[in-house]
Structure 1
Amino acid sequence: MRKINMTSLLIAAAFSIMATVPAEAKKKKQETPKPRKTAYQKLMDKGGRVSAEGGFVNLHKIQSKLYVELPLKYCGRDFLIASTTSKSSNSKLAIVGYKPQDPMCVCFNRMDSAIVLQTVNTGTIADNELQLAYNRNYANPIIKKYKIEAYNADSTTVVFDMTDMFVSDEKQLSPVSSNYSILGIKPTFQKDCSSLGNIKAFEDNASVTSTLSYNYSLTFLGSEVSNGRLTTEVTRTMLLLPKLPMKPRIADSRIGIFLTDKSKLTMASDGIEDFSYANRWRLEPKDSIAWNRGELVEPKKPIVWYVDDAFPEAWKEPLKQSVLIWNKAFEKIGFKNVMQAVDFPKDDPQFDPDNLKYSCIRYVPTPVKNAMGPSWVDPRTGEIVNASVLVYNDVIKLINNWRFVQTAQIDTRVRTKKMPDDIVKESLTYAFAHEIGHTLGLMHNMAASAAFPVDSLRSASFTQKYGTTPSIMDYARFNYVAQPEDKGVRLSPPDMGVYDLYAIKWLYSPIKGNLSVEEEAKELEKWVDEKAGNPWYRYGRQQVEARYDPSALEEDLGDDPVKAGTYGIKNLQYILANMDSWIKDDESTAHKQDLYDGITQQFSRYMHNALANVGGIYLTDVKEGTKGNRWQPVSAKKQHESIMWVMQQLRNSYWLDAPELTKKFPLALKRSISIRGGVGKKLLQLNNHILLASHITDNGYTQKNYYDDLYNGIWEPTIKGCKLTDGDKLMQRLVVKETVASVAKISNTATKKLTTNESNIYAPSISDIILYGLDPTGYVEEHANELQRIDDINGNGYVASLLHEKSFGDKVGYGFQFDVKTDLIDESAAYNLIMLNKIKTLIKSRVASASANDKPHYEAMLVMLKSLDK
């Protein structure tokens, strides 16, 4: 009973206490607890977050980190990541507007609790029946793995930290190339001086700007030549590729188009099949029915070019014109308004010249005499998705020099220090249109300019219709053949050559009917077959590793280099004789010196162009059953005429010295002597060319013919008993030195000094690199003497091989013609010995009666020849 009463009292006390608790406390205790924040909410709630939302991915910049929000539906979709330099503290090493590395083709995939980034294997494809084998053996490799930080509310997107892709030393996205001309670049990333910048997101792409800093050193052959610091701002774009790739077009080696190489697993041929897709923009008619009726129609998506607002105002019109003239080619295949050129938009918040979505023409204010037109593709199909034209400041200096040196004999307007506006616009339009051609997929066609007969270049009716070359994709330049008396002759290349029209038709014309890629290739092949054997439509590859073909050279005009050179030299003599009176306001003579260098280099090109005939072999890709020869040596008659012409021109080259003009210049050797030395050395290195050319024909120009011509040409003054000039003596010393060295190779008494490393005799020499513009940076020309010594030590072609690895020539092609070794059939030592004996006999017969100035020369030659008697 007592216990029950106590319980009642406790209950009563509890109610009493509850009655005294405030109502607010009662209410608070009864509330439902707040739900906990998700990982996604916590991340998004962090202070200072900046976000960019688009249709592909969302970007979040949070406390110096970059988070990517990826819709899972895009897992497995292919996209590109590309890096463009937006700002640079050194535009020689990191060029604004340029992508020094090809974009990465990648895809995201989910793997357990992570997102992996995989490189897409685009190099190999397979027939349907071999897809199982393909899937097992050509999987996409994983290159990055990211922890999933959060899911959104409905788990349709994932968030992960991708900072290291954008603020790190990511080699595949580096703004610094591994080289500059023949110099190596070793960049060292400075993370503490690098940071994340702006972020943007759009419907099918997103971009991230970063500031990246490096210490760098420039090296040559492993030795450091300079060092410094480099800071760049880069824009990296993630661009979603189309789910349905463009229908590719299989390349044909008889037409010069940039390529995307492929291998194919197939049972249709023995072994894995290697082939290439042609690089091209996706060009489709907006109205297919109207196009089929033969009407001009607009494309679904035009090719729009944005012109840099940093350009000098006077350059903008020719830049836009260089884009628009290509519409002539597209109109021929039924398209209108394909090519468009506009200024950088000032009121479009989406526009970013460094985003992969926009193709731009950019100004590079550095002292390089060049321009270039790279493009970047979807590697699955070869579809061009972006291109740039980079215009260096000093391209104007180069063009003005060409116009004066090559056309001042006939065009009075260019006889001035400052070119008139109309000449500048015409010349710039041509130069830039060439680069636009590259961005459309066209490679160099160095055979084009050799298609026209030389005398046709003096015809007003012919040149007004066709210009100076069938293709502006050659390095044809201006009409140096035209003589002062030729009236109405066109002096510049055409706006659009016949080959260019043909190449655009092959590359971009839609093929009627729903044909397969292979069926389309058969139709396109017929178009090329129709032009086979016609030199106007012949494609000549740029000769990189080895230079065999005299008809596929840079900087030449016409089908006969001797005839073209004869006209050209006559013009140079006229120009040089009048240059001092034409050029005013040049007190320092710096401009005249530059023009004089241009004149002497032009003369050297004529010599080299003609010497390319000697031992030359024409190379043409030929399909069996069509016209033409895959290889054919230059006729013996033309080889003989070419070598004799060069020796005659060298002997008569004193007009180049122009003493009344050059006495105003800094102290230097007479230019005729320098050129004789350079060209003379080339003249004496043609033996192996001749050996191979004569080996592949029964009635060719032989080694014996070559050595006889050398003897008769170089020793002509001695044979005739004439007094020798300084140039004669130089050539004779060269021939004795070179022939003694050749014979000494098989002699037990040969000195180590006479034994040189193996040369690639077909590779471009130092003089070739300079004369034909094979090093766009000008570094080789600046250091020609030092580099020549390196070539002398390591063998001819050594420097050229370094350049090709780094920056020289078209980088892709259908397989280049490499050096053919001829040592198994070489009898040059025997012919050299015969010639040396003839020289020794000749000198001995002349030394006694020689003049006081010539006698020491002959005696020195005899001393050199005695080394072989031991």
Structure 2
Amino acid sequence: MKNILLLLFSFLLLPLGTSAQDSISEKTANMERHEGLFDFWWDDDTGKIWLEIDKLDQEFIYVNSMAAGVGSNDIGLDRSQLGNTRIVKFVRVGPKVLMVQPNYDYRASSENSLEQKSIEEAFAQSTLYGFEIEVREGDRVLIDITDFLMQDAHGVSDRLRSNNQGNYSVDKSRSAIYLPGTFNFPKNSEFETMLTFTGNGAGGWLRSVAPSSDAVTVRLHHSFVELPDDGYEPREFDPRSGFFPVTYQDYSVPIGEDMTKRYAVRHRLEKKNPEADVSEPVEPIVFYLDNGTPEPVRTALLEGGRWWNQAFEAAGYKDAFQVKMLPDDAHPLDVRYNVINWVHRSTRGWSYGSSVVDPRTGEIIKGNVLLGSLRVRQDYMIAEGLLAPYEEGVEPDPEMLEMALNRIRQLSAHEIGHTLGITHNFAASVNNVASVMDYPHPMVSFDDEELNLSEAYDMGIGEWDKRTVIWGYQDFPENVDEKEALEDIILETIDHGHLFLSDEVARPQSGSHPDAHLWDYGVDVVDQMDHILNVREKALNQFGENNIRMGRPMAYLQDVLVPIYLFHRYQTEATVKLVGGMDYSYQIRGDGQAGPAVVDAETQRAALDEVMKTLQVETLALPEYLLDLIPPKPMGMGASRENFRGYTDPAMDPVAMAEVAADHTASLLFNPQRAARLVLQSSRDSESLGYHDLLRSTIHGTIMGEKTDGYEGTIQRAINVAVLRNFMRLAGNENATPDVIALSRSMLSHLKDQLAEKSSGESEMIWKAHYSQASDMIENFLSGDDSYSIPPAPYTPPGSPIGSGETGNLHLRCDF
């Protein structure tokens, strides 16, 4: 009894939070040790990971990523997808260790420690997790990190819930540490878990990819990374440079100076000899291609990625940028590797270029590219639709595969560009294809009246890309004033005539710049609109059996037809931006660039006339013979999201197709920002194109235009409904200006009376009903009846990105 009491008394004297073991080595004696940045042990008996912390209060980088994804582009949880990059530190408080994230959004560059402290205390930090200390030896502690690794750090549950795919949470009984993805190195410790999410209410997207929607298992990767040393020199961001910025507020700057500080996001790259015009780098930038990429895509991606070395050569480097195959024993999320991932999804979607970035300086630590594998297949199908290459007994034209592979080469270069720190340049297409950082539309030419794809995509790095790399990566000798030298590079780029315009000016719905467009090509946007319509007309007129391989169901023609019928949609988006357009640059005081200027009236009217062609019956009426050629989808081959849906299911519906195409154009024309710009520019110059001009052209070119009969009349009525629908939406848009709303409602009231008059005088029953219905739609809308809703458009097949493919943030995610 005495011995028992003595043992109990001794146990009570142990420090709180400390186990009965006297040392870390005793606690971990029967476990598997992994030495590295943070030593850890794997306990096979309990399935736990024990982490030794010998770097208390020392900051490091923490990143979580998706090692194995869900496989749905719509949900967006892809294999090798990066999560947030955080600077954190372990802080011991009594028996606990806290993982604390300091707030680097608000800082003090002052050397005054008290000033720094006041700013640190002014803004919240974040404590990401708390751990109980198992063993403490001086400044070393041992903690169980398993629960931290097993949490939903990537926000899978939130993503599923926000996409209406169900209510799910981690089921720990079906989750475990994933040892093949858990390893340790001197500068990074890597952990991986297999997480199973269970719940209910699974949505269609999730059901389509999970073998059982009751249990969705993915893998989550955690990286602890040593902070880079202080040898990296941050480069102040310049909005004309083409680079992404990291941004923070500096509260210690003198009054009158800008508190917002920005650094360009870029890799560390230095010349061995900065004095030399051409020098090898101290350490090259090396990217590694996913070793699961098949041929011939593998070779194409390697070749496209290596284009960037041309830009680094222009900056005075030799072999500074390299692309190799990822070693078979390497993990793609190992922070030591810049990786180009070949990612599979059940549906086509965007590709991405993202990075792990040091938020203190903008230094890129790891570049991470995700390329959707369906890209090349969709591009190949577009080539099938354009060329109609399958005559019986004739092999497929190799030009189609070459076109698709050239697109993959360009895609590889584009996404790598983002991971070099470079943003989009959507003015490159009208600037002699000066950048791979634009979105390229396939360039189709006529060769003896036949369509030709031999020059569909440009090859090699662009001249603007070279200028951008020179600004971002030039290593200057010690006797050079870097700030002045960087400004000289920018001014020289401008003098060379290179335009740089990025995402915010290029979007078709609200963008206004006449030179910044998505998915266009050609110097003259209006001329290219006419060319695109001619290409589309040729492709549709020759569309038929020869667009699919022998032995395929004829219904497959529906899939091939969609991108050809809507082939003009992207150039329409580019051309309509000239209507109400404004030319400007990322101007800085003193750089000599011109101020903003409205696009001249003649150009605007020419653009509007060209866009109006996309609302004409002769453009949108599908050749009738195709209705007798293309059957409904057979059993086992149901309609997909890529197909048109209409009023005549299961038969193909040319009326719905025309309404979809017309709705696209009308939605661009009747945009509230565009209408407001038109009102403003005509108020300043009566000769300018005004909103009332757009209304007259659109209404008289469609709804009030000369009617047609039969099949074409059916198409025309669908176009009219699409135009009226979007006109009313603009008139009821609460974000539209008072003048736009007033003009819209006035014109609608006048149009209502005109339609009623046309209905009363119309003898043909279908047109009489059409005019009457349109007049009633306007009357119901103008009455303010809350129960009335504008009829929706038919389902529109997904468009952008062309192929399988847009906006950068700190992770440099690209919607491309």
Fold-level similarity (TM above 0.5): yes
* Residue 449 (structure 1) aligned to one of 429, 444, 459: 429
Residue 737 of structure 1: how far off its partner (Å): 6.5
Please name the residue that 1:709 is paired with: 697
- Note if 1:839 corresponds to 2:801: no
* Residue 138 (structure 1) aligned to one of 113, 120, 124: 120
Residue 561 of structure 1: how far off its partner (Å): 2.8
- Note if 1:250 corresponds to 2:214: no
* Residue 726 (structure 1) aligned to one of 693, 714, 722: 714
* Residue 569 (structure 1) aligned to one of 507, 521, 533: 533
Matches within 5 A, 1:366-385: 366-370=345-349, 371-385=351-365
Matches within 5 A, 1:426-825: 426-452=406-432, 469-480=433-444, 484=448, 490-513=455-478, 520-532=482-494, 536-542=498-504, 543=506, 546-580=510-544, 582-583=546-547, 584-585=549-550, 587-629=552-594, 631-653=596-618, 656-665=621-630, 666=632, 667-670=651-654, 673-675=658-660, 677-679=662-664, 681-682=666-667, 685-686=670-671, 689-696=674-681, 697-698=684-685, 699-714=687-702, 717-718=705-706, 725-732=713-720, 758=733, 822-823=737-738
Tell me how many residue pairs correspond in the alignment.
720
Q: Output the CA distance in 2 between the equivalents of 1:625 and 1:685.
A: 38
**Could you list the per-position Cα deviations for residues 342-384 of structure 1 after superposition, in whole angstroms to 9, with x for gaps in the alignment?**
33324x5xx3323222222223232332432221111111111
Residue 840 of structure 1: how far off its partner (Å): 5.5
- Note if 1:321 corresponds to 2:303: yes
* Residue 362 (structure 1) aligned to one of 318, 338, 341: 341
Q: Output the CA distance in 2 between the equivalents of 1:84 and 1:683.
A: 38
Contact 1:477 1:493 in 2 (8 A): no
Calculate the aligned-residue CA RMSD, in Å: 4.0
Q: Output the CA distance in 1 between the equivalents of 2:383 and 2:471.
A: 33
Q: Output the CA distance in 1 between the equivalents of 2:24 and 2:777.
A: 87
What residue identity is the alignment partner of 2:418? H
Which segments of 5 or more consecutive residues in structure 2 lack a partner in the other structure?
Answer: 1-19, 633-650, 784-816
**Could you list the per-position Cα deviations for residues 646-685 of structure 1 after superposition, in whole angstroms to 9, with x for gaps in the alignment?**
3344325357512223422231221663345414642662
Cα 1:182/1:42, change in 2 over 3 Å: closer
Q: Output the CA distance in 1 between the equivalents of 2:406 and 2:712.
A: 47
**Could you list the per-position Cα deviations for residues 242-286 of structure 1 after superposition, in whole angstroms to 9, with x for gaps in the alignment?**
23262111211223322212111233343761132111111112x
Contact 2:157 2:168 in 1 (8 A): yes
Matches within 5 A, 1:373-412: 373-404=353-384
Residue 416 of structure 1: how far off its partner (Å): 3.9
What residue identity is the alignment partner of 1:611? V
What residue identity is the alignment partner of 1:708? R
Please name the residue that 1:280 is paired with: 266
Q: Output the CA distance in 1 between the equivalents of 2:166 and 2:364.
A: 29
Please name the residue that 1:22 is paired with: none
Q: Output the CA distance in 1 between the equivalents of 2:469 and 2:629.
A: 50
Please name the residue that 1:461 is paired with: none
Cα 1:256/1:484, change in 2 over 3 Å: farther
Contact 2:66 2:220 in 1 (8 A): yes
Q: Any idea what SS the aligned residue of 1:500 has?
A: helix
Cα 1:868/1:141, change in 2 over 3 Å: closer
Residue 589 of structure 1: how far off its partner (Å): 2.7
What residue identity is the alignment partner of 2:186? E
Please say which of residues 135-144 and 436-445 is displaced more in the overlay.
135-144
Q: Output the CA distance in 2 between the equivalents of 1:83 and 1:741.
A: 43
Q: Output the CA distance in 2 between the equivalents of 1:118 and 1:869.
A: 57
What residue identity is the alignment partner of 1:529? L
Q: Output the CA distance in 2 between the equivalents of 1:389 and 1:176.
A: 24
Cα 1:831/1:688, change in 2 over 3 Å: farther
Q: Output the CA distance in 2 between the equivalents of 1:735 and 1:67.
A: 65
Residue 522 of structure 1: how far off its partner (Å): 4.8
Q: Output the CA distance in 2 between the equivalents of 1:582 and 1:634.
A: 44
Contact 1:124 1:263 in 2 (8 A): yes
| Percent of paired sites with the same residue | 20
Please name the residue that 1:789 is paired with: none
* Residue 77 (structure 1) aligned to one of 58, 72, 75: 58
Cα 1:608/1:112, change in 2 over 3 Å: closer
Please say which of residues 669-678 and 102-111 is displaced more in the overlay.
669-678
Q: Output the CA distance in 1 between the equivalents of 2:361 and 2:171.
A: 37
Contact 2:659 2:719 in 1 (8 A): no
Q: Output the CA distance in 2 between the equivalents of 1:866 and 1:82.
A: 57
Cα 1:264/1:546, change in 2 over 3 Å: farther
What residue identity is the alignment partner of 1:425? L
**Could you list the per-position Cα deviations for residues 195-222 of structure 1 after superposition, in whole angstroms to 9, with x for gaps in the alignment?**
234342221122223222212567889x
What residue identity is the alignment partner of 2:680? H
What residue identity is the alignment partner of 1:336? K
Residue 645 of structure 1: how far off its partner (Å): 2.7
Cα 1:76/1:600, change in 2 over 3 Å: same
Residue 576 of structure 1: how far off its partner (Å): 2.4
Contact 1:99 1:175 in 2 (8 A): no
Which segments of 5 or more consecutive residues in structure 1 lack a partner in the other structure?
Answer: 1-35, 453-468, 746-755, 761-820
Please say which of residues 482-491 and 251-260 is displaced more in the overlay.
482-491
**Could you list the per-position Cα deviations for residues 757-783 of structure 1 after superposition, in whole angstroms to 9, with x for gaps in the alignment?**
x466xxxxxxxxxxxxxxxxxxxxxxx
Cα 1:727/1:80, change in 2 over 3 Å: same
Q: Output the CA distance in 2 between the equivalents of 1:830 and 1:89.
A: 48
Q: TM-score, normalised by structure 1?
A: 0.73
Matches within 5 A, 1:279-318: 279-285=265-271, 287-288=272-273, 291-297=274-280, 299-318=281-300
**Could you list the per-position Cα deviations for residues 509-559 of structure 1 after superposition, in whole angstroms to 9, with x for gaps in the alignment?**
1133278xxx74453233223334765332232456943335322111124
Q: Output the CA distance in 1 between the equivalents of 2:388 and 2:593.
A: 38
Please name the residue that 2:80 is paired with: 98
Contact 1:707 1:831 in 2 (8 A): no
Contact 2:611 2:665 in 1 (8 A): no
Q: Output the CA distance in 2 between the equivalents of 1:869 and 1:181.
A: 35
Cα 1:76/1:869, change in 2 over 3 Å: closer
Q: Any idea what SS the aligned residue of 1:549 has?
A: coil
What residue identity is the alignment partner of 2:560? L
- Note if 1:59 corresponds to 2:40: yes
* Residue 215 (structure 1) aligned to one of 190, 198, 203: 198
Matches within 5 A, 1:232-251: 232-244=218-230, 246-251=232-237
Cα 1:177/1:259, change in 2 over 3 Å: farther
Residue 834 of structure 1: how far off its partner (Å): 7.5
**Could you list the per-position Cα deviations for residues 279-307 of structure 1 after superposition, in whole angstroms to 9, with x for gaps in the alignment?**
1111112x22xx4121231x222222232
What residue identity is the alignment partner of 2:426? M
Contact 2:613 2:619 in 1 (8 A): no
Cα 1:159/1:585, change in 2 over 3 Å: same
* Residue 124 (structure 1) aligned to one of 84, 98, 106: 106
**Could you list the per-position Cα deviations for residues 794-852 of structure 1 after superposition, in whole angstroms to 9, with x for gaps in the alignment?**
xxxxxxxxxxxxxxxxxxxxxxxxxxx522675414651585288359738xx658667
What residue identity is the alignment partner of 2:419? T
Please name the residue that 1:86 is paired with: 67
Q: TM-score, normalised by structure 2?
A: 0.78
Q: Any idea what SS the aligned residue of 2:377 has?
A: helix
Please name the residue that 1:335 is paired with: 317
- Note if 1:267 corresponds to 2:232: no
Please name the residue that 2:22 is paired with: 38
Contact 1:482 1:489 in 2 (8 A): no
What residue identity is the alignment partner of 1:706? L
* Residue 231 (structure 1) aligned to one of 194, 203, 217: 217
Contact 1:305 1:359 in 2 (8 A): yes
Residue 479 of structure 1: how far off its partner (Å): 0.9
* Residue 149 (structure 2) aligned to one of 166, 170, 193: 166
